[in-house]
Structure 1
Amino acid sequence: MATHLFEGKEHASVYQRYRFSLPEKLQEVISSYLENKKVSSFQLAVDVGCGSGQSTPWLAKRFEKVVGTDISEAQIEEAKQAAHPPNVSYLVCPAENLPFNDNSVDFILSFAAVHWFDIPRFMKEVERVLKPSGCVVLSTNCLDMQLHYKDCTEKLTEIFEEFRKAIFKYANDRVCRVEDDYKMVFDALPFQDKQRITDIFGTVPFTVAGVLGYFQSFSMYQTLLKAEPEAAKSLLQNTKERILEVMGVSSLETPVEIRLRNVAVLGCKTS
């Protein structure tokens, strides 16, 4: 069964405001993969587990029609309300039961989502709906992120790690599928033509306020917030104060960067 952790309206709103699209280096990897596989049809792409639509519009330049799907009505409502190209639409549905005909989809993307799915059932759907020679990319951010500002990277990253450890006891067991760099996902993909890349590095620009918002979008923080609201708010406040102190600034609009590593599982249906 898929895991339901991002379905509240408030969580969806935070997710839409602070989650980011595919990092540039990952975009390059995907584009290069499609070129190398000589994909001949660019009619339909599906972004499975699209959340509030951060990455879905990126596909609109490459495909005639793009559909973002998610199990959360609140997330899809946020995606629909956000600006998006006219060839992009959104549907509420589980990843394990996609509303597309057999052999009808040219490309499937799933970013920061597959680890929440019922993976065996989802893989059957991938195999069913992809056209022959259709491609799939399943990717995520890894947990070893760095928070960068001038010469404060080491201290800021320590603060981030302490925050993550404080909320990690509220993490769902399926987070382990990220910790293994998607090896389980790679092994489950039922195609002979597949590869796994574990060293796609990039940076995402934020402000201090944006970083704090990003922290609040974590499922484990939201679980803590429901279980112990005062403890969650205190942890976030303390983290904010420590970040500002280390940076030597007072403005939450001060620019910072998150440096991250992505992994990607890429596959092509050859028959």
Structure 2
Amino acid sequence: MKDNFSSKSSSYAKYRPTYPQELYQFLKEKLHKTEKAWDCGTGNGQVAGALAKFFKEVQATDISQQQLDNAIRQPNIHYSVQAAEKTNFPDNSFDLITVAQAIHWFNFEAFYKEVARVLKPDGIIAVIGYSLFKSNPETDEVILKFYHDIVGPFWDEERKYLDKKYKTIPFPFIEIESPRFKQEYQWTFTHLIGYLKTWSAVKHYEKANGENPVDLIEEELKATFGAKNKVVFPILFRLGKLAK
């Protein structure tokens, strides 16, 4: 599995969006029990932190120790460096498995085999993420040009799954119908710039060209966005249970 996020892990924790409370409430309503959850590819632990509020125990794993060093701390969250596809958890351990903004990096077949092993028979898997945000029309135009024309060649191949809103990922589970969610913010311009600099394609561009591509659009973006403006993330969400 690629590790695109060990560098600048503190920025990832600071600037990346979170998920709406309505999503977690919906998850709670679908669960049979809330004893033990696994947040896989936990990154900065934001989902693990939310789950810890209603689960007795949360296991949170990532391949990046640097990400875990910057993760949310709660007494009932247990962090460990483990690959998604092979863990040391016992069989039939979890009532819920979550994967947020990470599944596109996994080996699907190996990960789903691990899910089938460690998920309880009545457990649920939730695949969560977000796609490209929207703001005002002028800002959207600048961002789309940046996304496709400037850093477009530097996106990893796996980005296609996010562009397709996770609809094209393999999902060998009985799918549970779910509502649509979104996350809306009033972001400062500083926060927007900080977020853009966490993009993996931005890091790849910077490594290849010796300059940060966000700097190329900063003035134009500030003219359209202003000091503060609306940012809306469409939330990607697929929920499933094991086939009998």
- TM-score in terms of structure 1 length: 0.83
Residue 90, structure 1, aligned to residue 79, structure 2: yes
Per-residue CA deviations over 1:129-187 (Å, capped at 9, x if unaligned) read 001110110011123x212xxxxx110111111221211110100111112221233xx
Equivalent residues, number? 243
Residue 57, structure 1, aligned to residue 49, structure 2: yes
Do 2:43 and 2:64's aligned partners in 1 also have CA atoms closer than 8 Å? yes
Aligned to 1:173: 157
Do 2:202 and 2:214's aligned partners in 1 also have CA atoms closer than 8 Å? no
Whole-Å separation in 1 of the counterparts to 2:28 and 2:45 = 21
Do 2:42 and 2:60's aligned partners in 1 also have CA atoms closer than 8 Å? yes
Per-residue CA deviations over 1:215-247 (Å, capped at 9, x if unaligned) read 0111110111111122x2xx3223221122234
Report SS of the residue matched to 2:42: coil
Match of 2:34 among 42, 55, 75: 42
Aligned to 2:220: 242
Overall identity of the aligned pairs, in %: 28
Residue 227, structure 1, aligned to residue 208, structure 2: yes
Between Structure 1 and Structure 2, the one with more helix by share is 1
> How many angstroms does 1:114 deviate by?
0.3
- Mapping for residues 148-187 of structure 1, pairs under 5 Å: 153-165=136-148, 166-185=150-169
Whole-Å separation in 2 of the counterparts to 1:64 and 1:205 = 33
Aligned to 2:118: 129
Residue 217, structure 1, aligned to residue 177, structure 2: no
Aligned to 1:190: 172
Whole-Å separation in 2 of the counterparts to 1:97 and 1:201 = 32
Aligned to 1:146: 134
Whole-Å separation in 2 of the counterparts to 1:206 and 1:213 = 11
> How many angstroms does 1:198 deviate by?
8.1
Report SS of the residue matched to 1:264: strand
Per-residue CA deviations over 1:38-96 (Å, capped at 9, x if unaligned) read x33211111111112222200011100112211111111111xx4x2211121111111
Aligned to 1:74: 66
Distance 1:13-1:229 versus aligned 2 partners, 3 A rule: farther
Instruction: Give 5+ residue unaligned stretches, structure 2.
Output: none
Do 2:63 and 2:81's aligned partners in 1 also have CA atoms closer than 8 Å? yes
Whole-Å separation in 1 of the counterparts to 2:123 and 2:204 = 37
> How many angstroms does 1:6 deviate by?
1.5
Whole-Å separation in 2 of the counterparts to 1:238 and 1:94 = 36
Whole-Å separation in 2 of the counterparts to 1:116 and 1:236 = 24
Residue 207, structure 1, aligned to residue 188, structure 2: yes
Whole-Å separation in 2 of the counterparts to 1:196 and 1:175 = 25
Residue 105, structure 1, aligned to residue 121, structure 2: no
- TM-score in terms of structure 2 length: 0.92
Per-residue CA deviations over 1:103-124 (Å, capped at 9, x if unaligned) read 0111111111100111111111
Match of 1:260 among 225, 233, 239: 233
Whole-Å separation in 1 of the counterparts to 2:241 and 2:155 = 32
Whole-Å separation in 1 of the counterparts to 2:231 and 2:177 = 23
**CA-based RMSD:** 1.9
